Structure 1
Amino acid sequence: MSDLVSRIQPFLEPAQALLQRHPRTIASTTLAAVLLPWFVDNYRKWRDLGGLGLPNYVGWPMALLAKPFGRETTSTGMYDANPIKGSWLKDPDTIPERRGDRPITGWHFVPHRQLNRIPTEDIKKRLKEIFDKHAKANSDLVEVTISPHEQAHDGLVIASARATPHAVAKHALREIAHFHHVKDYSMHMVLAPQDCKLLIERGWAERHPISGTIALPQEYLFVYAPRNEEELDVVERILVAAIGYMTDSRTVN
């Protein structure tokens, strides 16, 4: 042991002197060396989510700044307290429990994406066909444009010729739904409060972590990507309900 001490002794005194002269520099350099790998890994995970319609040097810092404001996403008490009790789902009692656990979502929620349970290419194609079908069949109610929220996907919005029917539609920037075709084919939709409650409790959706804030209404849901034809049918019913609620229409094709 004494031999080891004698070997490193010539280096200890210069190191101690350097620390005494430049303590802030040494501390900041050490902190950077510790944090840099975390930031590199965090950026890569954010980038793998598919990004946003913003340059990466803007989108990633935005995602980091948003993180402390995130909330839990599966409680439903706020919908019990909501005075709007109607449902826009057709036969809501027949919506089944979704099989299996909820998908894992990313650490970041800007963008909000799921990391597992990704659908097959065939299911992805069918999901797009469903969105396109209802956009075309309800052209008097809705139109397709760049998503006001994500700026990277086509979004289904209330037709420009129609008035904004209620405060939630205004808060949601009149956007009804979009699906994340770059990565996981999950969806964001805005639904009636009691439909949100039912879909969350039966495992089909969760709230966005910053829903219920100035940024997003509490009715802004993250709907999980469908895995098979049965789930596609349920997702189609959810989309029709979102169109009906957001346009205040009971006749959606």
Structure 2
Amino acid sequence: MSLLQKNFTALIDPAVLRAHQKPILLTAALAAALTPLLAYIRSSYRAWLALGPGGIPHHFLGWLLQVGMRALARSDTREPLPRPYTRLEDVAAAYGPAGERSYFGYSGTTSLPARSGDRPAVPSFVVPQRQTSDKADAATVAREEAFLDALARANPRVFEARASRLEGPLHRALWLRLPREGSDEDEDDAGKNKQKQEELRIRLGRGAEGEFAHVHGEGSVHLTMSPGDAKTVIESGWGERHRLSGVLGTRGILPWGYVLVYAPRDEEEFGVLREIILAGARYASEGAGVEVVVPEE
């Protein structure tokens, strides 16, 4: 008998097996438990990668980061009012007079029509938030980005179009030109300017630095709206809140009105998206002292 055969025979000796029964059972149980977990991690990571880059590193550490965010993330993204609120006034109160208004109706639109069909699929990942069905084609995405550019050109004192801070340089964004402190300001003006900046940070979210809209590669749009207009968008089926919207209240990165607006599927829906973006632009610029000019397409 060879040395290998002798060693193998020793391993299957009943006495040896009994002596190592607990470690063997523990190892087998651990392997049985880890196998489905590892399969889930692999499947989840691949699905997350397929969404494309946006906001956090596009590799395994980014996936782990968004997993950690689930402790804070909300699941009521398709409910018109976030839990536990039952009155819009209570949600809007945090954003001052601007939060209590609706900014629809300036172009003949007083309400939104109900979106036809089912909502698109939006995976439960915290970041990035994307829809994975009913995607827009490249031409439609280009039109959306062109509309942001046109809105900035029509309102050069109020808006500018440039790369997104929230999602990264691959995404076109619309920014509000924030008031800046000047060396020639007197104490009273400086105080008012500082107060205005703080109000804007609360209204648009502390992580935005003035960014209030950006377009994603599949045609959906992230947009900051008044709480009432966000409620209208969700109720009529055009979008849903981000999972971090309203988290940490006025100290949070994203306000309650930060919504994902679904990609348009036809010309009529593109027109609705256009009105939704305009409502967000009016809300963002509230207090700027100028009326938002609607660009011609």
Shift of 1:161: 4.7
Match of 2:43 among 37, 41, 44: 41
The equivalent residue for 1:104 is: 121
The equivalent residue for 1:201 is: 235
Aligned CA RMSD, in angstroms, stands at 2.5
Match of 2:204 among 163, 169, 187: 169
The amino acid of 2:79's aligned partner reads S
| 1:20 and 2:25 correspond | no
- Alpha-carbon distance in 2 for matches of 1:192, 1:125: 26
Q: CA, structure 1 residues 12+127, in 2 after alignment: closer, same or farther (shift >3 Å)?
A: farther
Q: Given the two structures, how large is their TM-score scaled by the length of structure 1?
A: 0.84
Gaps of 5+ in 2: 1-10, 94-98, 181-195
The equivalent residue for 1:242 is: 280
- Alpha-carbon distance in 1 for matches of 2:104, 2:40: 44
Q: CA, structure 1 residues 104+20, in 2 after alignment: closer, same or farther (shift >3 Å)?
A: same
| 1:67 and 2:70 correspond | yes
The amino acid of 1:201's aligned partner reads E
Shift of 1:22: 5.7
Shift of 1:12: 9.3
The equivalent residue for 2:188 is: none
- Alpha-carbon distance in 2 for matches of 1:247, 1:224: 23
Q: Could you list the structure 1 runs, at least 4 aligned residues long, displaced by more than 4 angstroms after superposition.
A: 10-17, 22-27, 160-163
Q: Given the two structures, how large is their TM-score scaled by the length of structure 2?
A: 0.73
- Alpha-carbon distance in 2 for matches of 1:33, 1:17: 26
The amino acid of 1:218's aligned partner reads W
Shift of 1:140: 1.2
Q: CA, structure 1 residues 62+116, in 2 after alignment: closer, same or farther (shift >3 Å)?
A: same
CA displacement, residues 5-57 of structure 1 (integer Å, 9 cap, x when unaligned): xxxxx969466544424665544444333321111111000000113252413
- Alpha-carbon distance in 2 for matches of 1:21, 1:95: 64
Q: CA, structure 1 residues 34+244, in 2 after alignment: closer, same or farther (shift >3 Å)?
A: same
User: Does the 8 Å contact 2:66/2:125 carry over to 1?
Assistant: yes
User: Does the 8 Å contact 1:156/1:175 carry over to 2?
Assistant: yes
| 1:138 and 2:155 correspond | yes
- Which one is further off, 151-160 or 197-206? 151-160
The equivalent residue for 1:125 is: 142
Shift of 1:76: 2.6
- Alpha-carbon distance in 2 for matches of 1:186, 1:176: 14
Q: CA, structure 1 residues 169+215, in 2 after alignment: closer, same or farther (shift >3 Å)?
A: closer
- Alpha-carbon distance in 2 for matches of 1:18, 1:44: 39
- Alpha-carbon distance in 2 for matches of 1:18, 1:155: 63
Identity over aligned pairs, percent:
29
| 1:85 and 2:88 correspond | no
Shift of 1:119: 1.6
Secondary structure in 2 matching 1:171? coil
Q: CA, structure 1 residues 180+30, in 2 after alignment: closer, same or farther (shift >3 Å)?
A: same
The equivalent residue for 1:7 is: none
User: Does the 8 Å contact 1:143/1:157 carry over to 2?
Assistant: yes
- Which one is further off, 61-70 or 10-19? 10-19
User: Does the 8 Å contact 1:19/1:26 carry over to 2?
Assistant: no
- Which one is further off, 105-114 or 144-153? 144-153
CA displacement, residues 199-220 of structure 1 (integer Å, 9 cap, x when unaligned): 1111111111121112321111
**Which is higher, the Rg of structure 1 or of structure 2?**
2
User: Does the 8 Å contact 2:72/2:244 carry over to 1?
Assistant: yes
- Alpha-carbon distance in 2 for matches of 1:204, 1:160: 29
The equivalent residue for 2:223 is: 189
Secondary structure in 2 matching 1:99? coil
The equivalent residue for 1:3 is: none
Gaps of 5+ in 1: 1-9
The equivalent residue for 2:186 is: none
The equivalent residue for 2:259 is: 221
User: Does the 8 Å contact 1:123/1:229 carry over to 2?
Assistant: no
User: Does the 8 Å contact 1:210/1:216 carry over to 2?
Assistant: yes
